[in-house]
Chain A
Amino acid sequence: MSTKTKILELKNINKRFGTVQALKDVNFELTKGEIHGLLGENGAGKSTLMNILYGLYNKDQGQIILREKVIEINSPLDSIKNGIAMIHQSATLVSEFTAVENLVLGMQRSKLNLNFKEEKKEILKLQEEFGLKFPLDIKVKNLSAGLKKKIEIVRAIYRNSSILILDEPTTALIEEEFKQLLSSLKKMVSDGLTIIFITHKIKEVLQACDRATVLTDGIIQGTLNTKNANKEDLVNLMFKDQKIDINASAIPLIELPKTNKTKEPVLSIEELTTKSNKKDKINLVDLNMEIYGGEIFGIAGISGNGQKELAEVIIKPDNIVKGKIKLKDKVLNGLSTVEIFDLRVFYIPEDRKRESILGQGDIKDNILLGHQRESRFQKSNILRWDKVKEAAKETIDHYQVKTPDENKEIEKLSGGNIQRVVIGRALLNDLDLLVTHSPTAGLDISSVKFIFEKIIELRSKKTAILYLNEDLDELIEISDRIGVIYEGRLVEIYTREQFNKHKIGSKMIGG
């Protein structure tokens, strides 16, 4: 931060998606050699703004000024030529290629062969210099999310980028990895790099950034110097109109009321070992756990360590080679999803759009999904649409879904409203067990709060809740107990009194 020259300026950027104004007259300034936080809630427009700078989206209006020259960016190639690099939230590497192949990909060099001897030398030098080690000749699909992040950062340096955009880089990392990464980034900055750091976590801004710009609903709220700002200043900028108690990780503060757990466990898993013939699936190994009624059992872990497999094996117990899954006294092994749902179990999957809803179906279609064979909705296989309609209307009322009626295509609703329908569907019947995977992902703060309330309400009704989440902050907030999953094994279980971010975090990477 020796020189204070302006390197980049975005002026009056506007962007519209259909009827939604994603960005409105956005102005943004970047000083050479800083780490600049771009802070805002999910859906505030941070990624949209940066994707415009990177050329993946086209702006409707506005100017991009780089080193005092107006430039046109219509594709990533334009931004690469201008020394801009971007690392997206999930890796944009060709998973069938090795790290070297990925690093070389797209580089404008005239040489024809794919030997990469010289390239490897150069890359090894960069790895050494910034302490970013990863294997060069292994296919990327076999590497962890943390290593992929390193590859992408080295790729940016390898291309002599002068501006690096990092979009939520910590999603797949734990605290330790993040700290490591941060020291590498600081070294790069001292070598002349400028960094834009997109995040929705106030804590990370305070930890990593020199300055921070806050964006809400596509509008810039202001820029702060983090040296003389504190948490409250940022919170006030981020949640101007909302009175929600918030901690440093952008999660509303809640209190878990005291409840009595049931005496007997609702769900018990004994020595569960699975073997899937699909290549990209993690196998669960000797997994033991019990969840009691009235308890929220959190599962912590780096994404892709078996969370999805654990959730799915409970509602679809196949591929089991050893062990048992029991609901109260009933063994679930071998039952179908429909049969298990009949035992007062329901599931809210992780990926809302892909796994949870029928996008082009209306709210009725979506309410019915998973309940279609229940006797209240069908009689000798003829559907009772009038009952479905009733249930849909009740859900809309009870969960305050903002929609004209139950015939609205669900994908036309906002993320928060879609998730309200999904939760309404899950809670249509009284439950003994709810399995839910990151139900708050990508939602705004008031929807997150609403979902927390519903889950706590369920807890007080003595439902057992299995709560899988990659966000440790959120788990610590809402769980009674947390189990850490690592490479398909449940390596440790902590009770609420024992919660410690550092300890749990190191377990998550196999420590």
Chain B
Amino acid sequence: MTKSTEDIKQKRTLWQKIIDQLKPYLLALFIAFFISGIIIGLLGYNIFNAYQTMLFTTFYSRRGFIETLIKFIPLTFATYAFAVPFKIKFFNIGGLGQMLFGATMTAIVGIALAKYNLSSLILIFVLILVALFAGAFLALIAGALKAYYNINPIISTIMLNFIALYFVNFIATTAPWKEPFSGHPMTKKIPEAAILPKLFNQIHFGIIIVIISIFVIYFLMNKTVLGYEIKATGLNPTASSVYGIKMKNTLMVTFMLGGAMAGLGGGIEVMGVHLRLIEGFALTSGAQYGIFGVLTALLCQGNLLGVPVSAFFISILLVGADAMQRTLQVPVEVVFLTQAIIVLLIVIFRE
């Protein structure tokens, strides 16, 4: 008897804890939507219609839900790009560049392998590896510049973003990769075998890859020596280094891990959505996945378990934003702005 009452007590305190945890988020959401309501009102739109579209488009139709999942996939990867190095208090703003580079290399290698008629399984596996390595490589540049030359990763990753952007443009407008008669810069299609299969004829296989990645990251960070060393370094870099954890290695590994995630996200966009490299593919609802990745990661305070949750939430808003612009002509930037305000408020309320 006593034990069960204790159980109940514990459960109650658990609920209490969850509610306490959620409080700042709810408060932030409320105030942010209030502010964006004022903006929408000032712009002369119907506030309630706007809210309704923004928040519930995902749930009105099957299409809305699929659309949300399709945005959820790259967004989750972009979020990890920031969230993993953030574990040791470093800022990888290069999620965009790493995603672009992952996509570009996937397209290049995919097109190059077209003539070999590889089986779908092998080709997709190879391209996933290419995407992972491409993203990790670009992030490693920033990580190594910090580790060995003390160059601020905020700056180096952003510079690499711009470099990657122009590289995409180069590949998408230059033979032998470019699609000959297209007005918009894009490459030729990747071979049929490289296209990710669709589940239930609706959502591409990337969703499974995302779910696997979520588990892998969780396991890596919580159950392995590497994960412990990353955690320790984040908590106290000086003490960690005194006790034999190599700061430089940890720094570079976290950047590579984050970059690999972004790269994979880019590769999956090519293999699952566009089936080729299209300039501007990483753009959505008024900004790039790179920026949203940072926002989403800050939204869950870099908590790796929170990443999919907040990525799904932001995806709902992104789908809502597009619908809002389509049906009500409200500029998507309103939603973009709302998200920035939400994050700012959450950061504030968490203190």
Binding site for B on A (CB under 8 A): 312, 315-316, 336-338, 341, 347, 349, 354-361, 365, 368-370, 372-373, 378, 381-383, 385
Contacting pair A383 B225 (CB below 8 A): yes
Q: Nearest-CB distance from B150 to chain A (Å)?
A: 12
| Distance in angstroms between the alpha carbons of A370 and B227 in the assembled complex | 14
For B232-250 the 0/1 string (1 means CB < 8 A from A) is 1001101110111110000
Most A C-beta atoms less than 10 A away, residue of B225, B226, B229, B239: B239
Contacting pair B235 A336 (CB below 8 A): no
Contact of A381 among B225, B236, B246 (CB under 8 A): B225
**B residues in contact with A383, CB < 8 Å:** 223-225, 227-228
Q: Can you name 16 A-B pairs with beta carbons within 8 Å?
A: A315-B244, A336-B244, A349-B239, A355-B239, A355-B242, A356-B239, A359-B235, A361-B235, A365-B232, A369-B240, A370-B243, A381-B224, A381-B225, A382-B223, A382-B225, A383-B225
Interface size class of B (residues with CB under 8 A): 10 to 19
| Distance in angstroms between the alpha carbons of A255 and B240 in the assembled complex | 35
Contacting pair A372 B225 (CB below 8 A): yes
Contacting pair A373 B243 (CB below 8 A): no
Q: Nearest-CB distance from B302 to chain A (Å)?
A: 13
Q: A337-B244, A365-B231 are in contact. Are A354 and B224 (CB under 8 A)?
A: no
**B residues in contact with A338, CB < 8 Å:** 244
Closest chain A residue to B243, Cβ basis: A370
| Distance in angstroms between the alpha carbons of A365 and B228 in the assembled complex | 8
| B interface secondary structure, majority | helix
| Distance in angstroms between the alpha carbons of A356 and B243 in the assembled complex | 8
| Distance in angstroms between the alpha carbons of A395 and B239 in the assembled complex | 20
**B residues in contact with A370, CB < 8 Å:** 243-244
Q: A337-B243, A372-B229 are in contact. Are A355 and B235 (CB under 8 A)?
A: no
Closest chain A residue to B236, Cβ basis: A358
Contacting pair B235 A365 (CB below 8 A): yes
Contacting pair B238 A361 (CB below 8 A): no
Binding site for A on B (CB under 8 A): 223-229, 231-232, 235-236, 238-240, 242-246
**B residues in contact with A361, CB < 8 Å:** 231-232, 235-236
| Distance in angstroms between the alpha carbons of A354 and B224 in the assembled complex | 25
Contacting pair A369 B232 (CB below 8 A): yes
**A residues in contact with B231, CB < 8 Å:** 361, 365
Contacting pair B238 A355 (CB below 8 A): yes
Contacting pair B228 A372 (CB below 8 A): yes
Contacting pair B239 A354 (CB below 8 A): yes
Contacting pair A382 B224 (CB below 8 A): yes
Contacting pair B236 A357 (CB below 8 A): yes
Q: Nearest-CB distance from A386 to chain B (Å)?
A: 12
Q: Nearest-CB distance from B34 to chain A (Å)?
A: 33
**A residues in contact with B246, CB < 8 Å:** 336
Contacting pair B225 A378 (CB below 8 A): yes
**B residues in contact with A368, CB < 8 Å:** 228
Contacting pair B224 A358 (CB below 8 A): no
| Distance in angstroms between the alpha carbons of A373 and B243 in the assembled complex | 11
**B residues in contact with A373, CB < 8 Å:** 225, 244
| Distance in angstroms between the alpha carbons of A421 and B320 in the assembled complex | 52
**A residues in contact with B232, CB < 8 Å:** 358, 361, 365, 369, 372
Q: Nearest-CB distance from A47 to chain B (Å)?
A: 24
Contacting pair A358 B223 (CB below 8 A): no
**A residues in contact with B229, CB < 8 Å:** 372
**B residues in contact with A359, CB < 8 Å:** 235-236
**B residues in contact with A315, CB < 8 Å:** 242, 244
Contacting pair B242 A349 (CB below 8 A): yes
**B residues in contact with A336, CB < 8 Å:** 244, 246
| Distance in angstroms between the alpha carbons of A268 and B243 in the assembled complex | 22
Contacting pair A360 B239 (CB below 8 A): no
A-B pairs with lowest CB-CB distance, top 5: A337-B244, A370-B243, A358-B235, A338-B244, A381-B225
Given A356-B242, A382-B224, 15 new contacts (CB under 8 A): A336-B244, A336-B246, A355-B239, A357-B236, A360-B235, A361-B231, A361-B236, A365-B235, A369-B232, A370-B243, A372-B225, A372-B229, A372-B232, A381-B225, A382-B223
| Distance in angstroms between the alpha carbons of A229 and B188 in the assembled complex | 95
Q: Nearest-CB distance from B17 to chain A (Å)?
A: 14
Contacting pair A381 B239 (CB below 8 A): no
Q: Nearest-CB distance from B223 to chain A (Å)?
A: 6
**B residues in contact with A365, CB < 8 Å:** 228, 231-232, 235
Q: Nearest-CB distance from A263 to chain B (Å)?
A: 31
**A residues in contact with B226, CB < 8 Å:** 381
Closest chain A residue to B244, Cβ basis: A337
| Distance in angstroms between the alpha carbons of A290 and B228 in the assembled complex | 36
| Distance in angstroms between the alpha carbons of A385 and B225 in the assembled complex | 11
**B residues in contact with A355, CB < 8 Å:** 238-239, 242
Q: Nearest-CB distance from B13 to chain A (Å)?
A: 14
| Distance in angstroms between the alpha carbons of A231 and B244 in the assembled complex | 45
| Distance in angstroms between the alpha carbons of A378 and B238 in the assembled complex | 23
**A residues in contact with B242, CB < 8 Å:** 312, 315, 337, 347, 349, 355-356
Closest chain B residue to A385, Cβ basis: B223
Q: Nearest-CB distance from B89 to chain A (Å)?
A: 12
**A residues in contact with B239, CB < 8 Å:** 349, 354-358, 369
| Distance in angstroms between the alpha carbons of A316 and B229 in the assembled complex | 18
| Distance in angstroms between the alpha carbons of A315 and B244 in the assembled complex | 9
| Distance in angstroms between the alpha carbons of A507 and B316 in the assembled complex | 72
| Distance in angstroms between the alpha carbons of A337 and B236 in the assembled complex | 17
Q: Nearest-CB distance from B249 to chain A (Å)?
A: 11
Most B C-beta atoms less than 10 A away, residue of A312, A336, A357, A361: A361
Q: Nearest-CB distance from A249 to chain B (Å)?
A: 29
**A residues in contact with B223, CB < 8 Å:** 382-383, 385
Most B C-beta atoms less than 10 A away, residue of A312, A316, A368, A372: A372
**B residues in contact with A385, CB < 8 Å:** 223
Contacting pair B244 A354 (CB below 8 A): no
| Distance in angstroms between the alpha carbons of A468 and B227 in the assembled complex | 33
Q: Nearest-CB distance from A331 to chain B (Å)?
A: 18
Closest chain B residue to A358, Cβ basis: B235
**A residues in contact with B244, CB < 8 Å:** 315-316, 336-338, 341, 370, 373
**A residues in contact with B245, CB < 8 Å:** 372
**B residues in contact with A357, CB < 8 Å:** 236, 239
Most A C-beta atoms less than 10 A away, residue of B227, B229, B236, B245: B236
| Distance in angstroms between the alpha carbons of A281 and B239 in the assembled complex | 18
Closest chain B residue to A373, Cβ basis: B225
**B residues in contact with A369, CB < 8 Å:** 232, 239-240, 243
**B residues in contact with A349, CB < 8 Å:** 239, 242
**A residues in contact with B238, CB < 8 Å:** 354-355
Closest chain B residue to A377, Cβ basis: B225
Closest chain A residue to B226, Cβ basis: A381
Closest chain A residue to B235, Cβ basis: A358
| Distance in angstroms between the alpha carbons of A357 and B242 in the assembled complex | 10
Closest chain B residue to A338, Cβ basis: B244
| Distance in angstroms between the alpha carbons of A381 and B225 in the assembled complex | 5
| Distance in angstroms between the alpha carbons of A383 and B228 in the assembled complex | 8
Most B C-beta atoms less than 10 A away, residue of A369, A370, A378, A382: A369
Closest chain A residue to B233, Cβ basis: A358
**A residues in contact with B236, CB < 8 Å:** 354, 357-359, 361
| Distance in angstroms between the alpha carbons of A337 and B239 in the assembled complex | 13
Most A C-beta atoms less than 10 A away, residue of B224, B226, B229, B235: B235
Closest chain A residue to B227, Cβ basis: A383
**B residues in contact with A312, CB < 8 Å:** 242
Closest chain B residue to A342, Cβ basis: B244
Q: Nearest-CB distance from A296 to chain B (Å)?
A: 22
Q: Nearest-CB distance from A32 to chain B (Å)?
A: 46
Closest chain B residue to A341, Cβ basis: B244
| Distance in angstroms between the alpha carbons of A373 and B235 in the assembled complex | 18
| Distance in angstroms between the alpha carbons of A373 and B223 in the assembled complex | 13
Q: Nearest-CB distance from A186 to chain B (Å)?
A: 41
